Structure 1
C-alpha cells in the first residue's frame, strides 16, 4: 500500500515538472526604411524600400490631398519594395505613408515637387476694356504649369509683356501661391494694349485690352437748313463739334447725343444722333408755323452743349376759301409758299365747327397740289347756322354765322 502511494506521488511530480518547460519560439521582428530620398520630381518613379524579416509583409498606406491608397510589397530576400502609384506621384505636395503591421509600424512623408519646366501658361486678363487717363487698369493673371498640370513653385519668374502705340514694356513678376499677377494701367491716349506673358521660355497667346476715351466734356452745336421758312417740309440738320474727353481723345463712335428743342410756346421736341469720328448729327423737319426754337444737346449724364436759337418765318401769307353745295363743300387754297410756289403736299389744315361758341366738330386734312377739300356731313351737322374756323401754317380764318342747308 505504501509503494502504491509512493508511485502516485512520483508520477504527479513528473507531470508537474514537464508542464512548466515551454519551448522558446519567439522571433525578433526587423523592419527598417532603406530609402533615404524624400523629395521627388512629379511624374518620376518612386519606390520605397524596407528591410524586413521574412515572416512579415506589411501593407503600405499612402495619402495625399487627392486621396488615399494601399500598396502591396514585392519581396527579394529581406528587402520589401513599394511602388507609389502614378496617380499620387504625378501630383505635387506632401505624401504621407505608413506601414501597417500588428507588432510595430513605421511612418513618414515625401515631398513631390513640380517639373522644372513650363508646358502651359494659363493666362487671364480683365476687364477687357478700360478708360484712358492713367487711373483705370486691367489685371493680368498668369499660372505657369508643368506637363502634368502642376503649378510651379513660388517665386518662379514670369515676364509680363505689353505694347501700346510706340511703347513696349517688360516687367518681371514672380509667382506667389501658384499665380503671378500684374496691374496694367491705362495711358492718357486711347487705343489698344497688346499683352502676353513668358515663363521659362514658354509664351502665352496674345491678349488685347481696349483703352476707351474717358467721359466726354462739354461741346458746341450748330445748325444747317436750306432756308428759314416754316414750311413744314424742309429739314434742319443739327451737328455737334468734335466731342472729346479731358485727355483730348475723340469719344468713341456710337456715343449717343440727344438734341432737345423748345419752341416759343413752351412745347418740346427731341431728336438724336450718334457720333462718327466724334461728331453727332440729327435731323428735324421745319415747323409749319412761325416760331423760335431753342436747342441744346446732351450726352446724358456726362456732358452738354451750349444753347442756340433758330427763328422760322411765316411761309404762307394768306389763303383762300370757297364754299359750295349748300356751304357744305369747302375748298381751302391755293396754298402758296414764300416764292408763291405751290406748297409741298402734306401741309396740315384744320377745320373747326362751332355752335354758340361750343366746338362740335374738328376735321383735319393735308394738302394735295396746294388745296384741301372738306365736306360737312348732314348726319353730323344739321341744317343750321354755324361758325367755321380754318387753321393752317399758323394762320387762322373765321367765317361767322354761315348757313348750312
Structure 2
C-alpha cells in the first residue's frame, strides 16, 4: 500500500489550518493614527500617536531629505512615537511607515518653516561683467529661519542696486526656497553696489565691476630724437587712447603688440600694456639705412593703421687696417652723422672665406669707435683667404689676404 497520497493529504490540511489561523491573527491587529493635524512648524514637538489592537511589538521608520531613523514607541493605551529634533527641525515632507509582524501602515506629515526670518544667504557672480546690454551678473538669495530652513515659497525679496547716479529696487519672490535676479551691465564702466532685503532684514553689500567692453580700432604714433640708423637710440611707439564702442577707456593692463617689418621683409615685435588707455613700447634703431612699417594689435580684438618710418644711414664709411702679419684687424674709427664716435655696442661682422667657401664668421662689438679681430694661427693656418667686413650695412671685401 502506498503512503504517498496520505502524506500529501496531511500536509494540505496543516497548511489550510495554519493559513486560517494566520488570517484570524491578522484580523486582530489594527493601528490607527489619531493626530488631529498633519501640518507642523519647524521646531514644534511632534509626537505621532496610534491607537492599536493586537501586538505592540512595532517600530516606526521615519525619513526626510536629511536622513532616516527607526523609532520604538512609548506604550500606554496607545503607541506614542516622539519625532527627534534632527527631523522635526527641518522643513519639508516627513514620511513615516509603521512596521509590525502582520501590518504595515504608512503616511506623511508636512513641516513648514517658521514665519520669522533669521538670515539671508546671498550669493553673486560673476564679480566682473562687460559693459553693454548683454552681460549680466546673477544675485541668488535664500532667506532662512533660525533653524536654517528656507522660508515658504512666494516670500518677497527686494533687490537694490546703485550705479553712478542710478538707484533701483526690484521685487522678486522665492520659489523652492530660492530667489534670484539677473542684473545687466550698463554702458558705462564702473562699480555696481548690490544688496537684498527680506522682511526687514538686509544682507551685506556686494559689489560687481563693470569693465570696458572689447576695444575698438585705434591709431599709433612714433617718437624718436633723430631719424638716423645708429643702432643705439630708441624709437618709442605709442597708441591713441584706446576705447570700447561705448567710449569707455579700456582697462589698465590691456596688452598691445607692435609688429615691425623692415625693407628686407624681416619682422620684429615689441609690446606694452595700457595705462589710462595708452600703451607704449620701445625698439632700438637699426644700424643701417632702413624703412619700417609698423602696425599694432590687441590680439583677436582690435588693431591700428600702418605707419612708415624711414631711417637714414648714420655711418657712411669706415677704415680697416691690418697688422704686419694680417692677423690683427682693426675696424674704425666708426663715426656717426656728426663725425662723433658711435656709442659702444655696434655689431661688426667678419666673414672668412677659403676657396670660395666660408670658413668662419666672427662678430665683435665696437668699443670707443673701434672693433678688433684676432685670427689665431692654429685656427687659420698658412694660406690665402678672402675677408668680408660688414658694419652699419656697409661691406668691405679683401680678396687676397695671405697668411704665413
Give the TM-score normalised by structure 2. 0.85
> Distance between the aligned counterparts of 1:90 and 1:143, measured in 2?
18
> Distance between the aligned counterparts of 1:364 and 1:106, measured in 2?
98
Say yes or no: does 1:205 pair with 2:204: yes
Q: How far does residue 74 in structure 1 lie from its aligned partner after superposition?
A: 5.5
Equivalence for 2:298? 299
Equivalence for 1:217? 216
| Secondary structure of the structure 2 residue equivalent to 1:117 | coil
Q: Structure 2 stretches of 5 or more lacking a match?
A: 1-27
Equivalence for 1:392? 391
Equivalence for 2:5? none
Name which one, 1 or 2, has greater alpha-carbon Rg.
Answer: 1
Pairwise CA RMSD: 2.4
CA 1:398 to 1:32, structure 2 compared with 1: closer, same or farther past 3 Å?
Answer: closer
Say yes or no: does 1:315 pair with 2:314: yes
Matched ranges for 1:147-166 at <5 A: 147-166=146-165
Q: Deviations over 1:13-38 (max 9, x none)?
A: xxxxxxxxxxxxxxx99977554233
Equivalence for 1:16? none
| Secondary structure of the structure 1 residue equivalent to 2:86 | helix
CA 1:156 to 1:356, structure 2 compared with 1: closer, same or farther past 3 Å?
Answer: same
- Contact kept in structure 2, 1:155 and 1:176, CA below 8 Å: yes
- Contact kept in structure 2, 1:57 and 1:73, CA below 8 Å: no
CA 1:200 to 1:402, structure 2 compared with 1: closer, same or farther past 3 Å?
Answer: same
CA 1:375 to 1:81, structure 2 compared with 1: closer, same or farther past 3 Å?
Answer: closer
Equivalence for 2:8? none
Equivalence for 1:6? none
> Distance between the aligned counterparts of 2:93 and 2:347, measured in 1?
88
- Contact kept in structure 1, 2:73 and 2:79, CA below 8 Å: no
CA 1:49 to 1:323, structure 2 compared with 1: closer, same or farther past 3 Å?
Answer: closer
Q: How far does residue 104 in structure 1 lie from its aligned partner after superposition?
A: 8.2
- Contact kept in structure 1, 2:62 and 2:97, CA below 8 Å: no
CA 1:50 to 1:401, structure 2 compared with 1: closer, same or farther past 3 Å?
Answer: closer
Q: Deviations over 1:95-131 (max 9, x none)?
A: 3446666798876542211011222222222222211
| Secondary structure of the structure 1 residue equivalent to 2:225 | coil
Q: How far does residue 135 in structure 1 lie from its aligned partner after superposition?
A: 0.7
Matched ranges for 1:17-96 at <5 A: 35-49=35-49, 59=58, 61-65=60-64, 66-73=67-74, 75=76, 78=77, 81-96=80-95
- Contact kept in structure 2, 1:59 and 1:73, CA below 8 Å: no
Give the TM-score normalised by structure 1. 0.85
Equivalence for 1:192? 191
> Distance between the aligned counterparts of 1:197 and 1:359, measured in 2?
79
> Distance between the aligned counterparts of 1:117 and 1:107, measured in 2?
32
- Contact kept in structure 2, 1:295 and 1:309, CA below 8 Å: yes
Give the stretch that moved more between structures: 369-378 or 180-189. 369-378
> Distance between the aligned counterparts of 1:390 and 1:29, measured in 2?
116
